Structure formats: structure tokens, C-alpha cells
Chain A
Amino acid sequence: GNSVTQMEGPVTLSEEAFLTINCTYTATGYPSLFWYVQYPGEGLQLLLKATKADDKGSNKGFEATYRKETTSFHLEKGSVQVSDSAVYFCALMPGGGADGLTFGKGTHLIIQP
């Protein structure tokens, strides 16, 4: 079956530090890959996505590249801010788009001033 593995948190960084949150997946075929973010007290928001190998998704300074050879979709940001503190979820949707999402366990990111 499909599965997503992401690094467990909490991850604590200082403001302006470089961020990497690792995500690897197992899936048949060619899934689409997503990062969702859940800010404190808010709902789940789409952060970025990539639908095929070597695609790079980007939004709000965050980036992730779909690496088929390593089955990975690591989230990166060059300089984090306190406002980036949230829980980040990596997810996949099987190829074809007719199925629900499979989520990783989430990574709680804490940015300190």
C-alpha cells in the first residue's frame, strides 16, 4: 500500500536558520506529492505540490522537489521566520487523482526569535 514517512518533531530552529524537513514515500505508479501546513488554531492549508518527477513546488519561500529515484519530497526554506511555526504534513495522492490522500505523521516546527 501507499505510505509516507517524515521526520518526527518537534524541530526547533532559530529565526533565519535553514530548514529541511525530510519526507519519503512508498507508492505504486506515479503519485502526486503535497506539503500541507497547519498553523496553531487553524485548518489545514495546501503549501505546495508537485505532480511528476523533477517538478519543484514552491510557495512562501518554501520549496520541495519530487525525486523519483530516491522517492523523496523534502521541504526546504532558506531562512525561517517565527511565523513559520506550525505542523507540516507531507502527503501523496495516487496517480489518477481519484483517491484520498495518504499523510505522514506531521512535523511540528518551532521557530525561536
Chain B
Amino acid sequence: SAVISQKPSRDICQRGTSLTIQCQVDSQVTMMFWYRQQPGQSLTLIATANQGSEATYESGFVIDKFPISRPNLTFSTLTVSNMSPEDSSIYLCSVDARATDTQYFGPGTRLTVL
């Protein structure tokens, strides 16, 4: 498996502001994923981030709202832009461990928007 860390672990933000969430992995991985878990709900895939290419977004998620960077094989960021209370969720990154077709998850970032 991989050791994955996320920063911040939680934050409380004001409506209309933006927050950038960092995801760091202890080994090089090809694919990283970002998910959202709304309160009491399941996880929904936001986008897939590959190093050196644009992120691929799922239906209902757009780059202007959730810009993603993937500058190298161990790091990615997700920005939640122009936040509203509906963006209050846990945001998780995951990585596809090499050659195992299995995803491991970071601890998540709990975001509250007031």
C-alpha cells in the first residue's frame, strides 16, 4: 500500500472564498483521484489526475470550480473555488497502488463553509 497525507485535515471557510487541499504520497504513483463525501453520503469521484496532463472530470464537476494540479508523481492539489455551504464535505484523495489495481485513500479534508 501507500502512505497518503492530506493538508489541511479540516477547515472552516467563508462563502465566496477558495481553499486548496494538498495530497502527498510516499511513493511515485501514476494515477491520483479526488473524491467528495457529502455529509452522511457515499463517495463521489470528482476527477482523475495524471502527471503531465489535464485532469479528467466526472459529470457534474468542472475545472473552474475544482481546479486540480499534478506537478509530479507524488503530489496533487485540489482547489474548491468560490465556495458555498453546499461545498461542505469531506474531500479525499486516493492513489492507484502500482500493479495492484487497488485504490488507497488519504485521511480526508473536512471542509465546512459558512
Contact = CB atoms under 8 A, between A and B. Distances in A.
B103 A101 contact: yes
A45 B108 CA distance: 12
B106 A93 contact: no
A93 B43 CA distance: 13
A100 B104 contact: no
Chain B, interface SS category = strand
B103 A93 contact: yes
B64 interface: no
Interface in B1-48: 1, 31, 33, 35, 41-45, 48
Given A34-B102, A93-B101, A97-B101, A44 B31 contact: no
Interface of B: 1, 31, 33, 35, 41-45, 48, 58, 92, 94, 96, 101-108
Interface of A: 32, 34, 36, 42-46, 49, 51, 89, 93, 97-106
